[in-house]
A and B are shown apart, each in its own frame.
Chain A
Amino acid sequence: MRTWLLVLSATGLSACVTINIYFPAAAAEKAADKVIDEIWQVPAGQSPASSQHSAPTATPVTPSATPVTPTVNPESAP
């Protein structure tokens, strides 16, 4: 009976050790999504960023409506 307990606890412990070696697929997917978004969002993220930089100076001026339209075009083109 006690030996079984010992065997059981030993098995339990070794099982725990193996868990640590498993590849965390869900976490990897989450990390991959984050990295891909960061890398691929540059063109989409850059145009709002550049428009943000120009926006504070550009909003009071009326002809600034023109810089806004080019940012829309690349998105609707593909």
Chain B
Amino acid sequence: MMRLLHNCSRLLQLFLRQGYHTLKVGVFLGCLAMLFEALPVYAAADLDVNTPAVAAVKASMQSRHLQLLPHYQSGTVGLTADGFVAVKEAGLVPLSQRSALAALVKDENTDRARLYQGMAAANGHPEWEGEIQRTFAQRWIDKAQAGWFVQRDGQWVRK
């Protein structure tokens, strides 16, 4: 055991003496690598939102927004704290239209989930989906127009 340790330390000493130059080159290359590795961080400062999948979801949500807008304004539908939409007051629409409303909300939420997933995947980090969803949840609520209902601390609040 002791011999093994001794051998190890001798090997290390040998390497340090002989390999001093190599070490210097190694440190230099390491610094270079750090520099180049830091670059993609800045390059990735913008998240890509223009993949075909994301664009398709956006277009679908854009057209649906025209149908959802009156419901946001009336308070039938509100923005949830987790980045989705929910029927807040179904009683505001006639009974005959409630299933259509439920379908509208369901479709919107499907698209929203696809948007979060698609944006994470578009940037090569599928594991970012949750973070992207949280970011969106906050921004949907921040950008909601006055009079819309948003969920804060588990309660519906009118903006």
Contacts and interface: CB of A to CB of B under 8 A. Distances in A.
Contact of B30 (A12, A24, A43): A12
Given A12-B30, A16-B34, A31-B119, A23 B140 contact: no
Contacts of A32: 132, 135-136, 139
Interface in B10-36: 12, 16, 20, 23, 26-27, 30-31, 33-34
B95 interface: no
A27 B65 contact: no
Interface residues of A, number: 34
A54 interface: no
A62 interface: no
A52 B122 CA distance: 34
A19 B38 contact: yes
A40 B126 CA distance: 25
A23 B131 contact: yes
Interface stretch (B40-48, B86-94, B97-105, B149-157): B40-48
B1 interface: no
Contact of B58 (A12, A27, A39): A39
A35 B146 CA distance: 20
B115 interface: yes
Interface of B: 12, 16, 20, 23, 26-27, 30-31, 33-34, 37-38, 40-41, 44-49, 54, 58, 61-63, 65-66, 69, 73, 115, 119, 125, 128, 131-132, 135-136, 138-140, 143, 145-147
